[in-house]
Amino acid sequence: MTTNTAWLLLIGSGLFETVWAVGLKYTDGFSRLGPTLGVLAAMAVSVYGLGMAVKVLPVGTAYAVWTGIGAVGTALLGVVLFDEPRTAARLACIALIVAGIVGLKLVSDA
């Protein structure tokens, strides 16, 4: 696997982390079968992709980027789907996470 492929896989895995994290809201405490199965499937895809990406990328960088993508995606979808607060301070903090993700990519040796 090339470095670029590992990065693309990592980004996709981070997006699947967002899917399962947001999906948790729809499981109603894992009492709804359909959403629960969707969450479990998204978790499996997300963790599998992370595992494949760390074959090439440094584990610390990959994990930080993976969780960062999941955190940013989940926070933004929380604002859009669940009317969570969209204060300037909250959006600025989300932007800082994005800056950290971009920074890790820029300084990564892989």
Tell me the per-residue pLDDT of 8-46, one tens digit each, with 9 for 90 and over: 999 999 999 999 999 999 999 999 999 999 999 999 999
**Number of helices followed by number of strands (H, E) in the chain:** 4, 0
Specify the amino acid at residue 108: S
* Total tally of structural domains belonging to the chain: 1
Q: How confident is the model at residue 108 (pLDDT cuts 50, 70, 90)?
A: confident
What is the extent of the structural domain holding 90? Answer: 3-107
Q: Could you give the angle at the alpha carbon of 49 between the alpha carbons of 105 and 69, nearest 5°? A: 45
| pTM to 2 decimal places | 0.90
3-state SS class at 12 = helix
